[in-house]
Amino acid sequence: VNFPSPYKVEGGGNSQLPESMGDFLLTPEVARAAHRILSRSQKPGYLYLQSNCADVAMFMRDLCQKEGFQVAESFEGRKFGLEDWLPANDSAVPETERDKRVAAKMRSTRWTQPSGFGWLAQSPLPLHGRTETEVHQALVTKRPVYRTLLQPA
């Protein structure tokens, strides 16, 4: 699930965005269907989630973990190590009004910025396998991308 449009935060934002998490692209039904399909696969199957919105990334990973996914600790025969996990970035400065609202919400609810185990610092995909949005976000604008690779538990 690559860079889904976030849902509206506190009634603000684009009128085309989903009204709430319940109208979001990734629903429990979609996560269950992905789990069912990947569980039946002969080869290891993975669900790759990435977003430039910390709250969206955390919501997607939490939802998928509730539906039976776990963090993948290896990919394509390579085990992930400490250097692969996203380091904490307490110096990130909110740039947009939405970023500021989300940062305030995260502080008030004790959410943390996605970092550490399960949050990939780099894409596990080769450069030619990355989306235009990811390349622009990570390589051109140098803004954070929150990624996690999951597999059925």
Comparing CA positions, the residue from 122, 35, 26 lying closest to residue 83 is: 122
Digit-by-digit pLDDT tens for the chain (153 residues) are 887 766 555 555 556 566 665 666 788 999 999 999 999 988 889 999 998 888 888 889 999 999 999 999 999 889 998 889 888 664 445 566 766 666 666 566 555 678 888 999 888 888 788 888 888 888 888 888 899 999 999
The predicted structure's pLDDT at residue 9: 53
Tokens of 40: 């039946």
User: What is the gyration radius of the CA atoms in the chain, in angstroms?
Assistant: 16
For residues 104 and 55, is the Cβ–Cβ distance under 8 A? no
| pLDDT at residue 69, rounded to an integer | 97
Q: What is the pLDDT of residue 91?
A: 43
Q: What's residue 38's pLDDT?
A: 96
Please give the torsion angle defined by the CA atoms of residues 8, 20, 88 and 127, in that order, rounded to the nearest 10 degrees.
-80
Asked if 124 contacts 75 with a C-beta cutoff of 8 angstroms, the reply is yes
CA dist., res. 50 & res. 100, Å (int): 20
CA-to-CA distance for 147 and 2, rounded, in angstroms?
9
Tokens representing 16 are 């085309």
- Widest pairwise Cα distance in the chain: 46
